[in-house]
Amino acid sequence: MTANPPSYARSAAQFADWLPPMLVKELRQGLRTHMFVGAFVTLQLAMVSLLGFQLLAARDGGVANLQEDLDQYLWVAIIVTLLVLMPLRGLMAISEETKGGTIDLVQLTHLSSLKIVFHKWLALISQTMLLVIAMMPYLVLRYFFGGEDVWFNVLALGWMTLISISLTAVCIATSPAGMVGRLVVLGVIGFPGYIMASEFVENRDNFTSGGPPVLSVAYLLVAAIVIALTLASKQLSAPGENGSTRFRVIAIFLMAGSIFGGLMSPDREGIAWIMWMIPLLVVAGLESLSEPAKEHPGIYVPFVRRGLLGRLAGRVLYPGWTSGVWFVLMLGLMFAEANYFWYARHLQLDNAAQFAITAIQFTMALVFPAAIMPLMPSFKHRHWLYVGIQVVCFLIAVGLMAAFNGRDSITSAVLSGLLPMPAMVWELSRGYHDSYPWPTHMTMALCSDLVILALIIFHSRHERRRIRAWEAQASDLLNAHTTPDSSAAATLTPAPES
Amino acid sequence: MDSTTTPPPLTSTSSTSAEPLVRVRDVHRLFPNVYAVKGINFDIHRGQVVGFIGANGAGKTTTMRMMATLDVPTRGQISIANEDVVQRPAQVRRLVGWMPDNYGTYANMTVFEYLDFFARAYGLKGKDRAQRVQEVMDFADLTPLADRMMNALSKGMGQRLCFGRMLLPDPEFLILDEPAAGLDPKARMEFKNLVRLLSQRGKTLFISSHILSELGEMCDTMLFIDGGKIVYHGDANELRKGSAANGTRMAIDIVVADRPEAISEWASMNPGWTVVETRRDGARLAFEADDPQSIAAALRKMIGDGLSVIDFHREERRLEDAFVDMIKDKSKA
């Protein structure tokens, strides 16, 4: 008789070998958490109870109001579970690894930061899917016993699942930030989310008929997942791993996708595609202009290997705020062009030029903090510094608007053009009326933009020198590996310390 | 020792080879506002157990993190088995096992699941994985704990688990940052046994601590770091002897059967002796010579002078004292 294997050996066989390690680990942990078990049991109980009530109401006949109320409760329960509880679990996904000190241990294995983040997300959405699948039988029963529209239910549930998994990705991306940062991001997403959810619960019947532009919304949600997971992996990346370039390349592709979708859309839905670029630009600006350069010659090797073109690409894609400025300007130019072509196609050419100018002003508003942030090198929380400068600029814009209160004058045109954020706000609010002295405003704004760029170039001189030194080190390394004695590592010349 | 010069060759053990496994050359690490490591140099040979000692904030963890590819030197070079930690981190990671001072735990996870996860993450599959996890559990005495939740482990058990995790990929070079911190005496003994076993298996260990006595028993070689610089690199006994040779006095514990104050009186009348501490049953004296002949002569004289000595033993010079003396000498120099 053979002895039974120990219980731990049996648990090893629960997950197949081909499953990613992080997914296995997260599922093992996640399925045991009180939040998942509680949500699962509560949702099942709610479904059974609601179905029971619905059956009773149908048997008694003519209790339409009760059925309507029950239906409302059901959707509130689903929304809270899928759009609040499940995504919120992502908030701890990375912070628990960094706080617990386990992230170093994981990084020393064969798992890259992208794999870690992607599989964590996969584990969380697997649990969401488990909840959704467990709800399906009730939706079918509601069709037979409650006369509900199954197609509507499935469609609504499908959209909510997609939104839920996008929100989960966003929560994972904010997970490495401090608690305040996480709460701010949640507030930014949560408030419009609450309004949209309330709107859905109140006006469910209109959902399928006059719903949102499906393709562009689906693109937005998928783009949000991609960018959020890339961002999260960037923040987890090991010293030799270049998460910044990956993030920037993906952002450029997503931007190009938006432009393509916008220009290909036959009707006004195209503007939705183009407007999706705004959050992408904001995230790109915040992330790229707040990050320090990576002091790791290995990161520069792939660029240096490609010669002059590689080094030129590096000026936009190297980690660090210096290249981040050109990266954001490049994205801004794409945004301005998309605006121009879309408006030129659907509206008048004059409007197209004006929208393109406003888009450039918006980009300059995003870039502006890079001209000031180097003056505060000891400020540790660079993201907060960036946000703080933007908030101050916005308050200046609001103050100027309040001070002039619609009175057009040379003074208002000069003052509003002094900083990019007020200039943009002014352009959007004044709508390019003929009565406003636009030439003065534009001249002022252009001069201000040039000064900002000059300041940025001046402040970045040390950083550029260091980048050149790292490029030289990378070049040394490449040469060392191509020489016959490749086993000997190259002796690195130190980069200048700023 | 000048930290910027090439270190002298280490005392080699029978299992070491001429080619060092680890080379650290002129390594600096500058954080914003903190210069943590200032141009350190040393070699570690295969099979050695090296103790890395320094006060809190001396630069121990920073150095170890750089060796484990978790941080990057601002300047200088670290190579492990001729692989540069900056240029070829993936290759280095295959050779290195890292045990941090604060071992991380996962909620809702058993000991076995933890090891199984890391075994998967190291690319082990199927029977190989099961076999390796079982080997590690047996080696670190974790099998009885396999089904226990991680958050229910004691500090000692947790350290053993972390130790086991480190061994999963069978690394050649093990870096242990303050492994014995916070352990009770029993867990400390178990840990020392594990280190001894690994050393017997030919592994190279680099162990940090700020408690010198525990490293003195385990390590072939000591590396002292102070203010980001290597201040000593050599044998523990050499350090003790070196300090004694520099005019440091020998401490001797004496217990007498009758009046303990008689020892103090005797010491005050005999040149070369100083009372360090008086006790209920005797005293601790300092003697200026440390050669056996002088000490034997002193004991004969003590007995000849009528002291009823029932215990007389030389105190092993503590590494802590030697270290403090050495730091003082350095600062004077």
For A286-342, what is each residue's pLDDT tens digit? 999 998 888 777 788 889 989 899 999 999 999 999 999 999 999 999 998 888 888
Q: What pLDDT, on a 0 to 100 scale, did the predictor assign at position A331?
A: 94
* B109 neighbourhood in chain A, CB within 8 Å: 25, 28-29
DSSP B39: E
How many CA atoms does the CB half-sphere of A134 hold within 13 Å? Answer: 21
A482 touches chain B (CB under 8 A): no
Give the Cβ contact number of residue A376 at 10 Å: 12
CB nearest B108 (choices: A24, A32, A491): A32
SS3 B112: helix
Please give the residue of chain B at the shortest CA–CA distance from A105. Answer: B98
**Which position has the token pair 């079918």?**
A140
CA distances from A228 to A169, A486, B58, B86 (A): 6, 39, 38, 28
Q: Does the beta-carbon distance from A11 to B130 stay under 8 Å?
A: no
SS3 B82: coil
Q: What pLDDT, on a 0 to 100 scale, did the predictor assign at position B7?
A: 34
On the question of pLDDT at A158 being above 80, the answer is yes
Closest by alpha carbon to B41, among B28, B54, B24, B53?
A: B24
Q: Does the beta-carbon distance from B100 to A105 stay under 8 Å?
A: yes
CA distances from A359 to A336, A426, A437, B32 (A): 5, 13, 20, 37
Q: What pLDDT, on a 0 to 100 scale, did the predictor assign at position A328?
A: 95
Global pTM? 0.79
Which long-range contacts does B263-270 make (Cβ < 8 Å, 24+ apart)? B263/B307, B266/B302, B266/B305, B266/B307, B270/B298, B270/B301
On the question of pLDDT at B244 being above 70, the answer is no
Q: What pLDDT, on a 0 to 100 scale, did the predictor assign at position B324?
A: 73
Q: What is the mean pLDDT of chain A?
A: 81
B81 touches chain A (CB under 8 A): no
Q: Does the beta-carbon distance from A11 to B112 stay under 8 Å?
A: yes
CA distances from B81 to A302, A459, A481 (A): 25, 42, 16
Average pLDDT rounded to a whole number, residues A266-293: 85
Q: What pLDDT, on a 0 to 100 scale, did the predictor assign at position A487?
A: 41
CA distances from B332 to B39, B317, B327, B329 (A): 21, 22, 9, 5
Closest by alpha carbon to B205, among B35, B329, B23, B22?
A: B22
Q: Does the beta-carbon distance from B110 to A8 stay under 8 Å?
A: yes
Q: Does the beta-carbon distance from B86 to A297 stay under 8 Å?
A: yes
Q: What is the mean pLDDT of chain B?
A: 82
- Mean pLDDT is lowest, of A24-28, A66-70, A106-110, A225-229, for A66-70
User: In Å, how far is B147's CA from the nearest CA of chain A?
Assistant: 6
Angstrom distance (rounded) from CA B298 to CA B315: 15
**What residue segments make up the domains of chain A, in order of their start?**
17-201
Instruction: Give A403's pLDDT tier (boundaries 50, 70, 90).
Output: confident
User: In Å, how far is B1's CA from the nearest CA of chain A?
Assistant: 24
A478 touches chain B (CB under 8 A): no
On the question of pLDDT at A498 being above 60, the answer is no
Angstrom distance (rounded) from CA B313 to CA B300: 14
Interface of A with B in 66-95 (CB under 8 A): none
On the question of pLDDT at A238 being above 90, the answer is no
Instruction: Give B62's pLDDT tier (boundaries 50, 70, 90).
Output: very high
Q: Quick one: what percent of chain A has pLDDT higher than 90? A: 23
Q: Which residues contact B265 (CB under 8 A, 6 or more apart)?
A: none
On the question of pLDDT at B15 being above 50, the answer is no
Relative to beta strand B273-278, strand B96-99 is unpaired
- Mean pLDDT is lowest, of A94-103, A315-324, B221-230, for A94-103
SS3 B84: strand
DSSP B211-247: -HHHHHHH-SEEEEEETTEEEEEE-HHHHHHHHHHTT
Q: What pLDDT, on a 0 to 100 scale, did the predictor assign at position A10?
A: 65
Q: Does the beta-carbon distance from B165 to A105 stay under 8 Å?
A: yes
B98 touches chain A (CB under 8 A): yes
User: In Å, how far is A29's CA from the nearest CA of chain B?
Assistant: 5
Q: What pLDDT, on a 0 to 100 scale, did the predictor assign at position A208?
A: 52
* A380 neighbourhood in chain B, CB within 8 Å: 32
User: In Å, how far is B263's CA from the nearest CA of chain A?
Assistant: 55
The answer to whether residues B102 and B88 touch, using CB atoms and an 8 Å cutoff, is no
- Mean pLDDT is lowest, of A26-40, A228-242, A404-418, for A404-418
Please give the residue of chain A at the shortest CA–CA distance from B166. Answer: A105
Closest by alpha carbon to B41, among B207, B325, B209, B231?
A: B231
Report the 3 state secondary structure along B114-156: HHHHHHHHCCCCHHHHHHHHHHHHHHCCCHHHCCCEHHHCCHH
Which of A12-21, A260-269, A318-327 has the largest mean confidence? A318-327
Q: Does the beta-carbon distance from A489 to B84 stay under 8 Å?
A: yes
Instruction: Give B139's pLDDT tier (boundaries 50, 70, 90).
Output: confident
Q: Quick one: what percent of chain A has pLDDT higher than 70? A: 83
Q: Containing H/E element for B44?
A: strand B34-44
* pLDDT tens digit sequence for A335-372: 988 888 888 877 666 677 778 888 888 999 999 999 99
CB nearest A239 (choices: B72, B112, B133): B72
Q: Which of A8, A106, A485 to mutate to test the interface with B (most CBs of B within 10 A)?
A: A8
Instruction: Give B272's pLDDT tier (boundaries 50, 70, 90).
Output: confident
Numbers of helices and strands, H then E, in chain A = 24, 0
A307 touches chain B (CB under 8 A): no
More confident position, A141 or B72: B72
The answer to whether residues B242 and B222 touch, using CB atoms and an 8 Å cutoff, is no
Angstrom distance (rounded) from CA B72 to CA B86: 6
Which of A403-407, B102-106, B123-127 has the largest mean confidence? B123-127
On the question of pLDDT at A399 being above 60, the answer is yes
SS3 A284: helix
On the question of pLDDT at A11 being above 90, the answer is no
Q: Does the beta-carbon distance from A497 to B30 stay under 8 Å?
A: yes
Angstrom distance (rounded) from CA B66 to CA B177: 12
* B126 neighbourhood in chain A, CB within 8 Å: 17
B139 touches chain A (CB under 8 A): no
User: In Å, how far is A54's CA from the nearest CA of chain B?
Assistant: 38
- Mean pLDDT is lowest, of A75-79, A146-150, A475-479, for A146-150
In the sheet that holds B22-31, the strands lie side by side as B34-44, B22-31, B75-80, B83-84
Which of A72-76, A361-365, A432-436, B156-160 has the largest mean confidence? A361-365
By the 10 Å C-beta count (0-12 exposed, 13-18 middle, 19+ buried), A405 is classed as: exposed
Give the phi and the psi of residue B173 in degrees, each rounded to 5.
-120, 125
A97 touches chain B (CB under 8 A): yes
Domain range B22-234, CATH class:
alpha beta
Q: What pLDDT, on a 0 to 100 scale, did the predictor assign at position A311?
A: 92
Average pLDDT rounded to a whole number, residues A272-298: 86
Average pLDDT rounded to a whole number, residues B265-276: 85
More confident position, B231 or A495: B231
CA of residue B268 relative to chain centroid, distance: 39
B95 touches chain A (CB under 8 A): no
More confident position, A152 or A169: A169
**What residue segments make up the domains of chain B, in order of their start?**
22-234, 249-316
**Which position has the token pair 């900056």?**
B86
B151 touches chain A (CB under 8 A): no
B122 touches chain A (CB under 8 A): yes
* A6 neighbourhood in chain B, CB within 8 Å: 146-147
SS3 A209: coil
On the question of pLDDT at B297 being above 60, the answer is yes
User: In Å, how far is B260's CA from the nearest CA of chain A?
Assistant: 54
On the question of pLDDT at A37 being above 50, the answer is yes
Q: Does the beta-carbon distance from A8 to B146 stay under 8 Å?
A: yes
| CATH architecture designation of domain B249-316 | 2-Layer Sandwich (3.30)
Please give the residue of chain A at the shortest CA–CA distance from B102. Answer: A101
For B204, the token pair is 């190279």
Average pLDDT rounded to a whole number, residues A201-216: 61
Q: Which of B69, B86, B110 to mutate to test the interface with A (most CBs of A within 10 A)?
A: B86
Average pLDDT rounded to a whole number, residues A252-258: 92
User: In Å, how far is B254's CA from the nearest CA of chain A?
Assistant: 49
The answer to whether residues B233 and B219 touch, using CB atoms and an 8 Å cutoff, is no
A296 touches chain B (CB under 8 A): yes
Q: What pLDDT, on a 0 to 100 scale, did the predictor assign at position A81?
A: 83
The answer to whether residues B250 and B287 touch, using CB atoms and an 8 Å cutoff, is yes
B146 touches chain A (CB under 8 A): yes
